[in-house]
Structure 1
Amino acid sequence: MKFLIKSATIVDPNSSFNGQVKDILIDKGQITQIDSVIEAKGAEVYDATGQFVSPGWMDMHVNFGDPGFETKEDLISGCAAAAAGGFTAVAIMPNTNPPMHSKAEIEYIKNRAKGNSVDVYPIGSLSVKREGVDIAELYDMTQSGAVAFSDGNKPVQNAGFMMRSLQYALAFNGLVISYPEDASIAEKAKVNEGITATYLGMKGIPNIAEELMIARDIFLAEYTGGKVHFTTVSTAGGVELIRAARKKGLPITADVAVHHLLLDDSVLMGFDSNYKVKPPLRSQNDIKALKDGLRDGTIDAVVSQHTPHEIEFKDQEFETSAYGISGLETAYAVFNMACEKVLAIEEMVDALAISPREILGLEVPVIELNKPANITVFDPDHQWMLSAENIRSKSKNTPFIGKDLKGKAMAIVNNGQMIIN
Structure 2
Amino acid sequence: MNLLIKSATVVDPASPFNNKVADILIEKGIITKIAKAIDADVKSVDAGGQYVAPGFFDLNCNIGELGLEVKEDLQTGTAAAAAGGYTGIALMPNTQPPVHSKAEVEYLLNRAKGNLVDIYPLGAISANREGKDMAEMFDMFKSGAKAFTDGNHPVQDAGLMERAMLYVQNFGAKVISYPEDTSIAGKAKVNEGIVSTMLGMKGIPALAEELMIARDLYLAEDTGSEIHFTTISTQHAVELIRDAKRKGIKVTCDVAVHNLVLTDDALMGFDSLYKVKPPLRTQKDVDALLAGLQDGTIDAVVTQHTPHEIEFKDVEFEVAEYGIIGLQTALSLLVGLGLPAALIVEKLSVNPRKILKVDAAVLAEGAPANLVVFGMDAGWEYGRAVNRSKSYNSPFIGQNLKGKVLLTCNNNQIFKN
TM range (shorter): over 0.9
Indicate the percent of aligned positions where both proteins have the same amino acid.
59
Residue aligned with 2:297, SS: coil
Quote the offset at 1:163 in angstroms: 0.7
Q: Following the alignment from structure 1 to structure 2, what is the Cα–Cα distance between the partners of residues 44 and 133?
A: 56
Q: Following the alignment from structure 1 to structure 2, what is the Cα–Cα distance between the partners of residues 224 and 173?
A: 14
After superposition, give the CA deviation of every residue in 1:120-174 in whole Å (9 maximum; x if it has no partner). 0000011100000010111111111001000000000111111111111111121
Quote the offset at 1:202 in angstroms: 0.5
Tell me which residue corresponds to 1:165.
Answer: 164
Q: Following the alignment from structure 1 to structure 2, what is the Cα–Cα distance between the partners of residues 254 and 336?
A: 21
Moved over 6 A (4+): none
Tell me which residue corresponds to 2:8.
Answer: 8
Quote the offset at 1:325 in angstroms: 0.2
Q: Following the alignment from structure 1 to structure 2, what is the Cα–Cα distance between the partners of residues 400 and 72?
A: 18
After superposition, give the CA deviation of every residue in 1:320-351 in whole Å (9 maximum; x if it has no partner). 0000001111111112212x1xx432121110
After superposition, give the CA deviation of every residue in 1:367-398 in whole Å (9 maximum; x if it has no partner). 11111110011111112221012100000000
Q: Following the alignment from structure 1 to structure 2, what is the Cα–Cα distance between the partners of residues 3 and 142?
A: 36
2:404 equivalent to 1:408: yes
2:35 equivalent to 1:35: yes
Quote the offset at 1:37 in angstroms: 2.1
Letter in 2 for 1:178: S
Tell me which residue corresponds to 1:66.
Answer: 65
Q: Following the alignment from structure 2 to structure 1, what is the Cα–Cα distance between the partners of residues 23 and 279?
A: 44
Tell me which residue corresponds to 1:114.
Answer: 113
Tell me which residue corresponds to 1:383.
Answer: 379
Letter in 1 for 2:158: A
Tell me which residue corresponds to 1:397.
Answer: 393
After superposition, give the CA deviation of every residue in 1:95-130 in whole Å (9 maximum; x if it has no partner). 011110001100011111011010000000111000
- Over the residues paired in the alignment, what is the CA RMSD in angstroms? 0.8
Tell me which residue corresponds to 1:179.
Answer: 178
Tell me which residue corresponds to 2:347.
Answer: 351
Q: Following the alignment from structure 1 to structure 2, what is the Cα–Cα distance between the partners of residues 257 and 336?
A: 15
Q: Following the alignment from structure 1 to structure 2, what is the Cα–Cα distance between the partners of residues 39 and 115?
A: 30
2:79 equivalent to 1:80: yes
Residue aligned with 1:109, SS: helix
Q: Following the alignment from structure 1 to structure 2, what is the Cα–Cα distance between the partners of residues 337 and 159?
A: 39
Unpaired segments ≥5 residues, structure 2 = none
Q: Following the alignment from structure 1 to structure 2, what is the Cα–Cα distance between the partners of residues 37 and 253?
A: 40
After superposition, give the CA deviation of every residue in 1:202-251 in whole Å (9 maximum; x if it has no partner). 01101000000000000000111111100000000000000011001111
Tell me which residue corresponds to 2:204.
Answer: 205
Contact 1:3–1:418 (CA<8 Å) still a contact in 2?
no
Alignment: residue pair count: 417
Quote the offset at 1:34 in angstroms: 1.2
Task: Output the TM-score relative to the length of structure 2.
Answer: 0.99
Residue aligned with 1:163, SS: helix
Residue aligned with 1:124, SS: coil
Task: Output the TM-score relative to the length of structure 1.
Answer: 0.98
2:317 equivalent to 1:321: no
Quote the offset at 1:65 in angstroms: 0.5
Q: Following the alignment from structure 2 to structure 1, what is the Cα–Cα distance between the partners of residues 403 and 239?
A: 30
Q: Following the alignment from structure 2 to structure 1, what is the Cα–Cα distance between the partners of residues 274 and 280?
A: 8
Q: Following the alignment from structure 1 to structure 2, what is the Cα–Cα distance between the partners of residues 177 and 350?
A: 20
Contact 1:65–1:71 (CA<8 Å) still a contact in 2?
yes
List aligned pairs for 1:11-30, cutoff 5 A: 11-30=11-30
List aligned pairs for 1:284-303, cutoff 5 A: 284-303=283-302
Tell me which residue corresponds to 2:191.
Answer: 192
Contact 1:228–1:252 (CA<8 Å) still a contact in 2?
yes
Letter in 2 for 1:371: A
List aligned pairs for 1:214-253, cutoff 5 A: 214-253=213-252
Q: Following the alignment from structure 1 to structure 2, what is the Cα–Cα distance between the partners of residues 103 and 131?
A: 18
List aligned pairs for 1:358-373, cutoff 5 A: 358-373=354-369
Q: Following the alignment from structure 2 to structure 1, what is the Cα–Cα distance between the partners of residues 85 and 43?
A: 19
Residue aligned with 2:319, SS: coil
